[in-house]
Amino acid sequence: MSAPWWERDGDVCWHPYTQHGVEETLLPVTGAQGAWLELADGRRMLDAVSSWWACLHGHGHPRLVEAIATQAATLDHVLFAGCTHEPAVRLAERLAAAAPAGLTRTFFSDDGSTAVEVALKACYSAAARRGEKERTLFVALEGGYHGDTFGAMAVGDPDPFFDEFGSLLFRVVRAPPDAAALEALMAEHGAQTAALILEPIVQGAAGMQSVAPDVVRAARRLCDEHGAFLVADEVMTGFGRTGTLFACEQAGISPDALCLSKGLTGGMLPLSATLFTESIFEAFRSEDRGRMFFHGHTYTGHAIGCAVALASLDVVEADDTPARFEAIGARVSARLDALLPDDGSVQRRRFGGIVVVELDGDGGYLDAAGPRLKAACRTHAPDVLLRPLGSVLYSLPPACTTMEECDLIAERMAAVLTAAR
């Protein structure tokens, strides 16, 4: 008799960000509903990390399921080069209406990395098309993470993810997430800069580190002063995670390009969107076919993805999803504070629905505290899915999470931190 499928995984699958030489047994997930995952052994686990920050409203949301089924029966997919369809047009209209002012054009792709690739290529080419071919440099923040394709790797912080690819990546200069440091860096490199890219308000993979509103405002001002484009990577922070629909709102700025994915479809299907100003779009409009934007994906503007994204936006508006995340984060944080009084041994922070506790350590994704935290999660949080980032333990659950479920998350986080310290 054949072994169960979850045991056969080890013979055929290669998992992302997983060291198969030491990784613990994988969780065999057979179903999901609301905030809960169902496992092959009958257990249920609360998805406190929204399945890599993507599940926006909860698993299996009926309005999203219905949208997928209806669209699949009508039009599943057609190439978006030379064709168009209603779901894509309606979604582009909705995004332009909801996004920060001035972002009028949407280029669809597949995931967060490709959304960033689109932004980088378009900004670089737009600068060249307006005659500024000296702008061959990108500026980014230390600790930034923007995806795993080559352009996204180049603007991400190389340590520890991308060091070995250094000789293959284009030139990027980085500043800490500090307004004065950004000002000094742009004073030196602004004339050669095509674009500055950042994750507004919070850097995800860096351990949920803060990028304060004044830093985001400084980035906008400096790009204006030096003639560079500003790219906001809101792949994680978009659609309410930080308590506002887009994190840029907390700084009161509009970028020149806005990268969206993850929660765009409620986490149900891979789809991304890069929104641009009309001036960037116009840099490519010409009677010369050689000046078009040479970029595309097989599933650009995927009809089913666009349909479920429209349904997700309906739910965001009907449920006031940003307010729900704010209430969820406040409840988890308050309960955690009651269970784990602040004795100065840990750092605490919250961004809307994201609650973060950081142990003292060397910092970074490979911090020695990471294995201790992961082991403590298995033992002390068997019914809550938590995935530490190095020395950082965080929760980022879907918007359907109840107050009682928030309390459960906080209780398990407190138990994990107590055991790991």
Amino acid in position 378: R
pLDDT tens track for 16-40: 999 999 877 899 999 999 999 999 9
368 — pLDDT class (breaks 50, 70, 90): confident
According to DSSP, the β-strands at 36-39 and 29-33 are antiparallel
- Same-domain status, 249 and 349: no
Residues 108 and 213 placed together within one structural domain of the fold? yes
Residues 200 and 156 reside in one and the same domain: yes
Same-domain pairing of 354 and 294: no
- Specify the DSSP class assigned to residue 3: P
The yes-or-no verdict on residue 360 having pLDDT over 90 is no
DSSP state of 226: H
Q: What local confidence, expressed as pLDDT, does residue 362 receive? A: 67
pLDDT in tens, 224-282: 999 999 999 999 999 999 999 999 999 999 999 999 999 999 999 999 999 999 999 99
Residue after which a domain boundary falls, among 298, 319, 340: 319
Q: Looking at the annotation, which residues are catalytic?
A: 17, 145, 233, 262
3-class secondary structure, 75: coil
Same domain (yes/no): 310, 330: no
Q: Are residues 334 and 362 in the same domain?
A: yes
Burial 252-285 (b: 16+ CB within 10 A, else e): ebbbbbbbbbbbbbbbbbbbbbbbbbeebbebbe
345 pLDDT more than 80: no
**Mean pLDDT, the chain, integer:** 96
Give the model's pLDDT for residue 342: 82
Give residue 413's pLDDT band: very low, low, confident or very high (50, 70, 90): very high
Mean pLDDT of 81-95: 98
Q: What is the mean pLDDT of residues 199-215?
A: 97
Confidence at residue 421, expressed as pLDDT on a 0 to 100 scale: 83
Residues 195, 196, 198, 200: what is their CA dihedral angle, to the nearest 10 degrees?
Answer: -100
CATH code for the domain in which residue 342 is found: 3.90.1150.10
Boundary (domain end) residue, out of 295, 319, 343: 319
Region 48-56 average pLDDT? 98
**pLDDT digits 0-9 by tens, 102-134:** 999 999 999 999 999 999 999 999 999 999 999
Q: What is the pTM of this model?
A: 0.97
Of 46-50, 193-197, 233-237, 337-341, the least confident: 337-341
Model pLDDT, residue 115: 98
Looking up residue 127, the CATH number of its domain turns out to be: 3.40.640.10
Query: d(Cα 414, Cα 381) in Å, to the nearest integer?
Result: 10
pLDDT tens digits for range 134-143: 999 999 999 9
Among 265, 284, 319, residue at a domain's last position: 319
How large a percentage of the chain has pLDDT more than 90? 92
Q: Is the pLDDT of residue 195 over 90?
A: yes
Dist. CA 183–CA 221, nearest whole Å: 9
pLDDT tens, position by position, 375-410: 999 999 999 999 999 999 999 999 999 999 999 999
**How high is the pLDDT of residue 363?**
63
**What is the rounded distance in angstroms from the CA atom of residue 317 to the CA atom of residue 260?**
17
What was the pLDDT predicted at 332? 98
Domain that residue 382 falls in: 5-60+320-420
Residues 305 and 332 both lie in one domain: no
CA atoms of 286 and 291, how far apart (whole Å) = 7
| Same domain flag for 124 and 257 | yes
Instruction: State residue 1's pLDDT score.
Output: 61
